[in-house]
Amino acid sequence: MAGAIDLQEYRGARRRLVETLQAQGLRDLSVLHAIDEIPRHLFIPTGVRHRAYEDSALPIGSGQTISQPSIHARYLELLSLTGKERVLEIGTGSGYQTALLSRLAAQVFSIERIAGLLDKAREVIQQMGANNISFMLGDGTLGWPQFAPFDAILVGAAAPEIPMAYVAQLAEGGRILIPLGDRDEQVLHLFTRHGDELARQDIAPVRFVPLVGKHSWKS
């Protein structure tokens, strides 16, 4: 299956995107390398595929979007992954960030609540030959306790507060990256676990779709 994808397609467009991100101040070479390698166009509906390497968010169906590449890049740079981590991703969405994470961490566990999105993401990622990703259809606010603790938890939707499941499933020294706020405006926060304490760092104002589930917004 891995050979089914032409990784040279859109190669120049990917290289230009990397140069754009570098010009914006992105410095993490492993993140830049992953963005250069992962074919973002495959995770985007064919109707907007020609815009795959613009730095813009795009619709992916089911009322969801794929974030602009600079947001993904910033998210991943903030986590400072070394390649040894177990990462929990809340919101598989298009699967693009999942694929990036597969190049940056040892194991990726990704949860999505919309079956149609998960099926599409899984299909593309299987074609790419990534074999360090586990998927689950379900309520992301519950986390994935069977595979805890996680070194990083990356939340691709906004919550009013951190679901306690994430705190319980976070390893010592682990990081949670999550947008917190109301349904319309949020601030991206980075939390780091030190014993029973979570050190908080406020990153930037953001706007994400709401995190829907038992321990967050109701649908």
Residue 167: what pLDDT? 96
Model confidence, pTM: 0.93
pLDDT category of residue 4 using cuts at 50, 70 and 90: low
What is the per-residue pLDDT across 156-195, written as a single tens digit (0 to 9) for each?
Answer: 999 999 999 999 999 999 999 999 999 989 999 999 999 9
Rounded to whole angstroms, what are the CA distances from 206 to 157, 164, 199?
10, 22, 20
Domain boundaries defined on the chain = 2-206
Hey, which residues are catalytic here?
67
* Coil vs helix vs strand at 32: helix
State the CATH architecture for 2-206. 3-Layer(aba) Sandwich (3.40)
